Structure 1
Amino acid sequence: MTERHETDAPTAGGFEGFFARAAKAAGLTSQAELALLVGVHRSAVTQAKKKDAVPKAWILAVSRRAGVDADWLEFGRPDRRARATSGAGETDGGLFAGVPKVRARLSAGGGSFETAGEVEAVYPFRRDWLRRKGNPASMVLMDVVGNSMEPEIRHGDTVLIDQGQTGVMAHAVYAVGVEDTVLVKRVEKRPGALVLLSDNRDYAPLVLSGDELDALRVIGRVLWVGREL
């Protein structure tokens, strides 16, 4: 007899009910986006759908990310945190959406080896503002170390990244992975090559071509920079 763990208990509305509510709250358009939001492989979502079971950790992740009640996500019960009256511009999911800040750090320098995707905290942003920038469900916050992008991005800054925006636009700023390091750079297309540019002129451009391009992955576009004084 296979033991069923509490974390894999089925929801009252089943997987489909949970996914429908999660999609409404977090603006998801596919199960692949759900996998990205909760930090699992797409196959894990497929298995959850087959078992009609949703891990508690997924429910909590969506609840924190979208700013909605976990009981509503799991069981479809009325959101206990819903406002008694709705203000102008508010959506059913609430005025704010939570964006996770991950442990991984972006290097504005020689490269960061801190690539862990564990969520350290969740920060609220206006949902309508996020939607104007991109897809809130694919956004994360990361800290920056190093000075290669100064003065635009400084050491210690926090940047907002949309992992759904991976198509390279000229001179836009991206989080990129090169082999086992992660960087924040401007990206420029050249015939048969991509160039990673630093705003700080003390750092030479990094030109990638041929087989080197296979080692490059565009993590997402940097949309916003925040810093403490």
Structure 2
Amino acid sequence: MESEDLKKKVGQNIKRLRIAAGIKSQAELATLCGWKSQSRVGNYEAGTRAVSAIDAGVLAKVLNVTPAEILYGESNKAGYFIRETGPSKNTESNAQWHAGFELWDGDTPLRDDEVALPFFREVELAAGNGSTFVQENGGCKLRFAKSTLKKSNVDPQHAACVTVSGNSMLPVLRHGTTVGVDTSKKSIIDGEMYAIDHDGMLRVKMLYRTPGGGIRIKSYNNDEFPDEFIQPDKVSDIKIIGWVFWWSVLNVWNN
């Protein structure tokens, strides 16, 4: 379903749940949510504005429903959310609900608390001679909340993203994983993960310093990808792009 259709569907959910809760007007709902203007609720119900995860949580609390009911319509819809009768005495929680996903696309403007980070990529030189260099991809960007970067002490102007290729970093990073990189942090701390430009190859690896000024490059999948030892006279072949502060893995459902 296209993003505009999704926003309209969520808007219909909000209006239906508002009426079901006995809240007669958008202004009344806005007041109960602690919002100064009725227009936020009006835009949500009209489907002209994507509902943020935070606002979905606020609406759910006021309307006495789950965030899933705000975003998806039915709390027991397969694949989204199911109400349970309650945990047993021997169970414990190891996760926290964060109100689902905000709906947006490439045309959605950035909010004041967001920033778009660029991607790095390999670029082949001289058509087919195997020589490459690493540069920023001018088109592709990933949205981050500024608060997320602040938690990792990352300045947005020094942050970028890299997509991992291959399985050398399994089981932590699978093929296609996106990692966030702080390009201001280039000093090697043994065992930390870095994005590097290795003689034109874009790589994400753990780095260690070795006696004499060399570097050890380590993969998590060490059985298939043994450690690489870079001698001091070859260290100039490696340019550290930055320290990896974040990564995200997308699982694919194979039914």
Shift of 1:104: 3.8
1:203 corresponds in structure 2 to 225
1:121 corresponds in structure 2 to 140
Residue type at the aligned position of 1:136: P
Partner residue of 1:163 out of 183, 199, 202: 183
Matched, 1:194 2:205: no
Q: Residues of 2 paired with 1:97 and 1:147: CA distance?
A: 30
Q: Secondary structure at the match of 1:128?
A: helix
Where do 1:95-110 residues align within 5 Å? 95-104=113-122
Residue type at the aligned position of 1:220: G
Number of residue-to-residue matches in the alignment = 133
8 A contact 1:146–1:154 mirrored in 2: yes
Residue type at the aligned position of 2:243: R
1:135 corresponds in structure 2 to 155
- TM-score normalized with structure 2 length: 0.48
8 A contact 1:160–1:225 mirrored in 2: yes
Where do 1:1-229 residues align within 5 Å? 94-104=112-122, 113=132, 115-133=134-152, 134-192=154-212, 193-201=214-222, 202-229=224-251
Residue type at the aligned position of 1:125: F
Residue type at the aligned position of 2:229: V
**Counterparts in 2 of 1:102 and 1:175: CA distance versus 1, 3 Å:** closer
Shift of 1:203: 0.6
8 A contact 1:102–1:120 mirrored in 2: no
- TM-score normalized with structure 1 length: 0.53
8 A contact 1:103–1:120 mirrored in 2: no
Q: Residues of 2 paired with 1:112 and 1:162: CA distance?
A: 26
2:85 corresponds in structure 1 to none
**Counterparts in 2 of 1:187 and 1:102: CA distance versus 1, 3 Å:** closer
Structure 2 segments unaligned to the other structure (5+ residues): 1-54, 56-110, 124-129
Q: Residues of 2 paired with 1:191 and 1:159: CA distance?
A: 29
Q: Secondary structure at the match of 2:241?
A: strand
Structure 1 segments unaligned to the other structure (5+ residues): 1-86, 88-92, 106-110
Shift of 1:211: 1.1
* Structure whose alpha-carbon radius of gyration is higher: 2
Shift of 1:167: 0.8
Structure having greater relative contact order (Cα 8 Å, sep ≥ 6): 1
Q: Secondary structure at the match of 2:234?
A: helix
8 A contact 1:144–1:154 mirrored in 2: yes
Q: Percent identity?
A: 24
**Counterparts in 2 of 1:184 and 1:112: CA distance versus 1, 3 Å:** farther
Quote the RMSD (CA, aligned, Å): 2.4
Q: Residues of 1 paired with 2:116 and 2:197: CA distance?
A: 25
Q: Secondary structure at the match of 2:220?
A: coil
**Counterparts in 2 of 1:102 and 1:188: CA distance versus 1, 3 Å:** closer
134-143 or 95-104, larger mean C-alpha shift:
95-104
Q: Residues of 1 paired with 2:198 and 2:135: CA distance?
A: 15
